[in-house]
């Protein structure tokens, strides 16, 4: 049964009733739309009117106390988050909660933030099996509201292709937004309700009260219908930067063009280094050097350079799945030798011969749009096609880029090439006017040849090489770096990047691959998942296993010595080589697994670096952009010994000192490949991975993050992800629908974010190096 059919069945059987809800709005636009929320207080889980419930409040790096409230007492949590990377409070019942007979329900609670800064709060409901349902929310400064975690209902039963759906309850709650984990935990055995603050610069305080199970007064059966207007905007809500007509869009664009100024920051060199600072050795290309105790990039002319920029400036991620497809015989399928992932190709239109075969594959998706053009019309040029998606309501099909369509409206032309050239020119002017020193990763290669702005190139190693699982292969299993085919594909990939860059001095460096799941800290099974899974394989089919076999034989010589160290009983080295299951961990096992994981990573980085030295010897190898959740000390060590700069994607509010202590150990230049924040006043349904309370709050959080990196002696740059908001109905790759752009779907900048960036960038070099002036 299709997702849409499931949803229709739930509506027609009376589970949902019809009425209009303003999607994603924090407050209803009119009091007539919502009835007062009525709660059954017999379902009260925790109230704090006496001291007894405090034993059900567990804290880690936090303090708890009772506080007089309007309705009695509440519990106050002081998160010691300035000096700790994570600070947690968990509400834990004396006996497991059984919510299995609640029907459609959620948990409501009062949360007050008495402080002057908003709090991005991670929320987790866990069952007794350890399965977690995870959400996030921004608690605005000096606010008190009632929040909701939806735990059972029709919306949780369907895959819409949107990372976070519009809120379907017709009640006056602030929804806590779905993040990741399992939407369906064991509701008969609920073990805890937790709240976490992580990666912030200051202590936070929140006040919790009246934690109650609640059911919806009513639910909107049309909450997924008619979401998107012709501009790709939210059709059910008023919001920041909203456009109502083509004429308004053109007027806004013309006004912005007149206000853009070229880089008037006096301290910038030709390549955006610090012209007023020391002039070091000039190599003609970007390089790295530790200067007076701080790692730094050095620009081609020899000036100190800090790379503050914006990533993902391209059309490739601007399209969304429409719910239509074509006869597959007309679609050119992917080839084994392809070098570019599907989501990086661009719109990739279906051929004209395919158009007559167009048919609806998901009514749920197609009904989200109030407007889609005819293929033969000028606006039909912005249709695209995806032969595969990572996650979504359907696994392939037609897409549409409202952003590209809005560029043609804005520049009043149906010539896409002309519109995109104007877009590139405007983008460069913006980067200069906003004071950025470079682009980040994933920049459209058409910017390379402009020779106007520093950029980073990127490549993906794709091919039929063997793989090894880390147990959490979110994007894909890891390549087997000992497979000769991997080396061949690495060489081909870097050669392609080299051809695009053409030895340009404007290219700072090259990122290869991204956010691979190398392993997760917390327990041996996840940290050493790569060698553990490789040990199960036969060396005849796994080059990595063959290497590990040779490694252990070299260390222990005899199988008896190995068995004694590992406290197992293998008959021979052939038994080791053919594959076995590791079940116990002792000191020797952990040490050897650590060595194996390090050797695995070292081989990967060495192979890629050899390709860089062969084809791009003048450019920096920037590594693989570690996700903070998917890296281990062994991989960081391996990367630091090979890459010129070690790159990290770190989605928190600041560079928190506790988490980054390992930088002292490896002592290599580091760069942030991705960070961002977003807010719901944009009209989008999900702020992003870090939540701000408003557009003004986005600017505040941006400045705090970048300044914390500028102040750290190891970081040589920060790259915001991304230039353009995600599509309202989710990007085609995986449904991300985040307000994380510097510009909206109508290409209008978010003024508070731009103003914050201007201020940070104007003071960047003085803040980083000013006290070192010659």
In this structure, the strands spanning 324-325 and 455-459 are unpaired
Domain boundaries, the chain: 3-214, 320-400, 417-523+598-772
Tokens of 656: 């928190």
Q: At what angle do helices 543-556 and 587-615 cross, to 10 degrees?
A: 130
H/E run at residue 111: strand 105-113
- CA 59-65-68 angle, to 5 degrees, is 145
Is the distance from CB of 18 to CB of 154 less than 8 angstroms?
no
Place of tokens 């998706």: 365
DSSP 8-state secondary structure symbol assigned to residue 134:
E
Query: What is the rounded CA–CA span in Å between residue 127 and residue 674?
Result: 32
- What are the angstrom distances between the C-alpha of 98 and each of 56, 81, 127? 16, 32, 10
Neighbouring CB atoms inside 10 A of 591's CB total: 11
Residue 551: φ, ψ to 5°: -65, -45
Neighbouring CB atoms inside 10 A of 356's CB total: 10
Ranges of residues in the chain with a pLDDT under 50 are 1-36, 772-774
Burial class (CB within 10 angstroms; exposed 0-12, middle 13-18, buried 19+) of 27: exposed
What does the pLDDT look like over 652-708, one tens digit per residue?
Answer: 999 988 899 999 999 999 999 999 999 999 999 999 999 999 999 999 999 999 999
Q: Which CATH class is domain 3-214?
A: mainly beta
Q: How far is CA 365 from the centre of its chain?
A: 23
In the Cβ-directed half-sphere of 517, how many Cα atoms lie within 13 Å? 15
In the Cβ-directed half-sphere of 394, how many Cα atoms lie within 13 Å? 22
Please state the pTM of the whole predicted model.
0.93
Query: What is the rounded CA–CA span in Å between residue 465 and residue 461?
Result: 10
What does the pLDDT look like over 121-165, one tens digit per residue?
Answer: 999 999 999 999 999 999 999 999 999 999 999 999 999 999 999
Query: What is the rounded CA–CA span in Å between residue 285 and residue 300?
Result: 4
Burial class (CB within 10 angstroms; exposed 0-12, middle 13-18, buried 19+) of 438: buried
SS (H, E, C) 421-476: HHHHHHHHHHHHHHCCCEECCCECHHHHHHCCCCEEEEECCCCCCCEECCCCCCCC
- DSSP labels, 509-574: EEEES-------TTSHHHHTHHHHHHHTS-TTT-HHHHHHHHHHHHHHSSHHHHHHHHT---S-HH
Query: What is the rounded CA–CA span in Å between residue 228 and residue 23?
Result: 11
- CA 431-745-706 angle, to 5 degrees, is 40
Residues ≥6 apart with Cβ < 8 Å to 314: 344, 346, 442, 443, 444
Torsion over CA: 475, 724, 401, 231 (sign)? positive
Query: What is the rounded CA–CA span in Å between residue 214 and residue 450?
Result: 58
Place of tokens 């407007």: 371
Torsion angle (degrees, nearest 10) of CA 717, 723, 725, 726: -80
Residues ≥6 apart with Cβ < 8 Å to 105: 99, 151, 152, 153, 213, 214, 215
Query: What is the rounded CA–CA span in Å between residue 289 and residue 708?
Result: 20
DSSP 8-state secondary structure symbol assigned to residue 760:
H
Query: What is the rounded CA–CA span in Å between residue 287 and residue 423?
Result: 30
Tokens of 256: 């912005």
Is the distance from CB of 10 to CB of 157 less than 8 angstroms?
yes
In this structure, the strands spanning 204-214 and 44-46 are antiparallel
C-alpha gyration radius of the chain:
27
Residue 458: φ, ψ to 5°: -150, 160
Query: What is the rounded CA–CA span in Å between residue 549 and residue 403?
Result: 52
Neighbouring CB atoms inside 10 A of 245's CB total: 10
DSSP 8-state secondary structure symbol assigned to residue 220:
B
Q: Which of 723, 622, 772 is nearest to 297 (CA)?
A: 622
Burial class (CB within 10 angstroms; exposed 0-12, middle 13-18, buried 19+) of 58: middle
CATH 3.20.20.80 fits 417-523+598-772, yes or no: yes
Residue 268: φ, ψ to 5°: -100, 135
Query: What is the rounded CA–CA span in Å between residue 549 and residue 538?
Result: 10
Residues ≥6 apart with Cβ < 8 Å to 306: 274, 296, 297, 437, 710, 716, 717, 764, 765, 768
Q: Which of 527, 560, 562, 567 is nearest to 548 (CA)?
A: 562
């Amino acid at each position: 049964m299709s997702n849409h059919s499931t949803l229709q069945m739930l509506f027609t059987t009376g589970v949902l009733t019809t009425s209009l809800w303003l999607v994603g709005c924090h407050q209803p636009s009119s009091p007539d739309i919502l009835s007062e929320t009525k709660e059954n207080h017999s379902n009260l889980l925790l109230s704090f009117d006496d001291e007894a419930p405090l034993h059900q409040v567990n804290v880690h790096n936090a303090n708890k106390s009772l506080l007089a409230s309007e309705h009695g007492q509440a519990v106050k949590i002081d998160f010691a988050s300035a000096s700790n990377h994570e600070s947690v409070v968990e509400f834990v019942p004396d006996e497991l909660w059984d919510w299995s007979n609640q029907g459609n329900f959620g948990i409501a609670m009062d949360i007050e933030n008495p402080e002057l800064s908003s709090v991005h709060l991670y929320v987790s409901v866990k069952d007794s099996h350890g399965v977690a349902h995870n959400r996030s929310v921004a608690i605005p400064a000096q606010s008190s509201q009632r929040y909701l975690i939806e735990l059972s209902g029709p919306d949780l039963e369907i895959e819409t292709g949107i990372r976070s759906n519009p809120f379907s309850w017709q009640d006056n709650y602030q929804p806590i937004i779905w993040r990741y984990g399992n939407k369906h935990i064991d509701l008969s055995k609920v073990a805890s309700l937790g709240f976490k603050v992580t990666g912030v610069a200051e202590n936070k305080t929140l006040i919790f009260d009246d934690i109650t199970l609640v059911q919806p007064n009513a639910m909107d059966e049309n909450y997924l219908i008619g979401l998107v207007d012709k501009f790709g905007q939210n059709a059910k809500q008023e919001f920041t930067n909203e456009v109502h007509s083509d004429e308004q869009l053109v007027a806004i664009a013309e006004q912005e063009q007149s206000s853009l100024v070229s880089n008037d920051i006096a301290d910038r060199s030709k390549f955006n280094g610090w012209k007023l600072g020391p002039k070091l050795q000039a190599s003609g290309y970007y390089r790295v050097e530790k200067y007076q105790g701080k790692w730094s990039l050095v620009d081609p002319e020899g000036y100190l350079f800090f790379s503050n920029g914006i990533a993902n400036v391209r059309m490739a991620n601007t399209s969304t799945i429409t719910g239509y497809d074509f006869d597959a015989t007309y679609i050119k399928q992917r080839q084994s030798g392809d070098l570019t992932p599907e989501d990086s190709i661009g719109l990739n239109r279906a051929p004209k011969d395919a158009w007559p075969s167009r048919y609806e594959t998901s009514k749920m998706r197609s009904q989200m749009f109030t407007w889609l053009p005819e293929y033969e019309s000028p606006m039909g040029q912005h249709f695209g096609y995806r032969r595969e998606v990572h996650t979504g309501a359907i696994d392939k099909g037609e897409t549409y880029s409202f952003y590209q369509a809005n560029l043609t409206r804005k520049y009043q032309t149906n010539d896409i090439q002309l519109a995109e050239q104007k877009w590139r020119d405007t983008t460069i002017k913006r980067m200069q006017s906003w004071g950025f020193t470079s682009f980040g990763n994933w920049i459209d290669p058409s910017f390379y040849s402009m020779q106007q702005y520093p950029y980073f190139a990127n490549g993906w190693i794709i091919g039929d090489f063997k793989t090894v699982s880390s147990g959490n292969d979110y994007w894909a299993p890891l390549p087997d770096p000992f497979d000769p085919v991997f080396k061949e594909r690495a060489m081909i990939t870097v050669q392609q990047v080299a051809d695009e860059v053409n030895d340009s001095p404007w290219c700072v460096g090259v990122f290869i691959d991204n956010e691979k799941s190398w392993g997760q800290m917390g327990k041996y099974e996840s940290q050493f998942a790569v060698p553990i899974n490789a040990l199960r394989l036969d060396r005849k089919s796994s080059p990595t296993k063959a290497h590990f076999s040779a490694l252990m034989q070299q260390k222990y010589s005899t199988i008896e010595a190995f068995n004694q160290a590992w406290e197992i009983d293998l008959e021979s080295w052939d038994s080791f080589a053919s594959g076995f299951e590791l079940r116990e961990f002792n000191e020797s096992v952990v040490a050897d697994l650590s060595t194996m994981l390090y050797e695995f990573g070292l081989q990967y980085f060495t192979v890629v670096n050899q390709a860089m030295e062969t084809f791009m010897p003048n450019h920096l190898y920037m590594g693989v952009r570690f996700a903070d959740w998917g890296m281990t000390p062994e991989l960081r060590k391996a990367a630091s010994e090979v890459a010129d700069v070690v790159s990290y994607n770190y989605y928190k509010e600041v560079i928190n000192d506790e988490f980054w202590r390992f930088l002292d150990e490896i002592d290599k230049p580091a760069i942030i490949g991705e960070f961002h924040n977003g807010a719901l006043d944009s009209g989008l349904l999900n702020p992003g991975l870090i939540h701000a309370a408003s557009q003004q709050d986005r600017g505040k959080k941006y400045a705090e993050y970048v300044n914390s990196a500028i102040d750290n002696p190891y970081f040589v740059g920060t790259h915001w992800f991304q230039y353009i908001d995600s599509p309202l109905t989710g990007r085609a790759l995986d449904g991300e629908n985040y307000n994380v752009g510097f510009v909206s779907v109508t290409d209008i900048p978010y003024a508070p974010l731009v103003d914050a960036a201007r201020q940070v960038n104007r003071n960047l070099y003085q803040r980083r190096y000013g006290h070192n002036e010659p």
